[in-house]
């Protein structure tokens, strides 16, 4: 699992999974650059800068900053994402566009910007954070599920394109995770505790995930222990996908 000498870039680093991914990669020995949404969030990290994942120019500047600061880029973790719940009829075009511009376009732009630098290393790794919703779908998640399904398909296509360059591309597909994004979603439910209980029941393991449990799998996919894995969408969902 050692990532000593490797340089990683993590988007959405201020979120629950993002923070734990920075921790997991750092614990494995990597130098980690954190891409966050605001200057205020950047203050919580050793190496961080704001990034609008919807902007190709921002991605190019962020990758250039990483290379200038640390001399290389070995690992990209596309973690930034947004979630909005609505029935199909209540899903507005603006909602659809926001979700897809962050969750899918943002992942594509991150990969596009990072590939030239990853190619130089001959053993680069990209890990995209998708969702179990991108494999199975979910009620009132039409836009979100479609965006995460797109991430899964993008991951598989990039894995084929980049395998000759020694770049592996995989995705993690979390179930429900105890993050601020999920907490905000639950707070909109008529009964927070009832919503949490439904979420727990969906997972055969009997609970929702902690962010670190997702981050540890991300670190695994970024490291040498998974060197014969590419194009995989790995459910990290407490058994939810097999029900």
Question: What is the torsional sign of CA 12, 53, 39, 185?
Answer: negative
* Cα–Cα distance measured from residue 166 to residue 187, given in angstroms and rounded to the nearest whole number: 44
Q: Torsion angle of alpha carbons 92, 110, 69, 48, nearest 10°?
A: 30
DSSP 140: T
Q: How far is CA 141 from the centre of its chain?
A: 18
Q: Which residues of 209-231 are buried (b: 16+ CB within 10 A; e: fewer)?
A: bebbbbbbbbbbbbbeebeeebb
Distance CA 237, CA 213 (A): 10
The residue annotated as part of the active site, out of 45, 108, 144, 220, is 144
Could you give the CA distance from residue 41 to residue 144 in angstroms, rounded to a whole number? 25
Token code pair at residue 126: 């990209």
Q: Catalytic site residue 144?
A: yes
Catalytic residues: 144
């Amino acid at each position: 699992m050692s990532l000593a000498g490797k340089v990683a870039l993590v988007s959405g680093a201020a979120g629950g999974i993002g923070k734990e991914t920075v921790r997991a990669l750092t614990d494995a020995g990597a130098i980690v650059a954190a891409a966050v949404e605001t200057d205020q969030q950047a203050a919580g990290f050793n190496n961080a800068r704001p990034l609008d994942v919807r902007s190709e120019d921002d991605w190019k500047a962020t990758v250039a900053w990483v290379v200038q600061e640390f001399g290389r880029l070995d690992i990209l973790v596309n973690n930034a994402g947004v979630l909005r719940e609505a029935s199909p009829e209540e899903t507005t075009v603006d909602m659809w566009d926001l979700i897809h511009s962050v969750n899918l376009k943002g992942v594509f732009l991150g990969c596009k910007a990072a590939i030239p630098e990853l190619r130089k290393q001959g053993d680069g790794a990209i890990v995209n954070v998708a969702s179990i919703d991108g494999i199975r779908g979910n009620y009132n998640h039409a836009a979100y599920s479609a965006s995460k399904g797109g991430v899964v398909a993008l991951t598989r296509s990039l894995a084929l394109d980049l395998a000759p360059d020694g770049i592996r591309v995989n995705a993690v597909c979390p179930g429900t995770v105890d993050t601020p994004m999920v907490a905000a979603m639950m707070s909109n439910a008529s009964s927070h505790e009832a919503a949490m209980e439904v979420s727990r029941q969906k997972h055969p393991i009997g609970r929702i995930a902690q962010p670190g449990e997702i981050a540890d799998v991300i670190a695994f996919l970024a490291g040498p222990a998974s060197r014969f894995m590419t194009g995989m969408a790995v459910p990290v969902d407490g058994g939810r996908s097999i029900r």
